[in-house]
Structure 1
């Protein structure tokens, strides 16, 4: 993994280059852009929110 902080100091952004098999965890709403070959997986830390999403998905 390679990383570089750009656009400092006011609008700092972290640019990350991942090797095959590597992963990174980002906060919701913090991803500005990504390469088309990237797979995004979403995990919820709250069981209550996870249950709500499952319920709403079952209604569709």
Structure 2
């Protein structure tokens, strides 16, 4: 069951990299500048070490 939970939170790119969305970006962002909000908006890549652990887990 836990593997499904992980798969819901990550996406695979065409090249096989893993991407995820950072937490804490849904609301209460009014104090952050527009630039900060836009920069944090997209998907982020995992570090190589963590990506290795996730691949072993999946």
TM-score (norm 1): 0.28
Q: Which has the higher contact order (CA 8 A, sep 6+)?
A: 2
- Give the TM-score taking structure 2 as reference length: 0.28
Higher helix share: 2
Q: Looking at CA atoms only, which structure, 1 or 2, has the larger radius of gyration?
A: 1
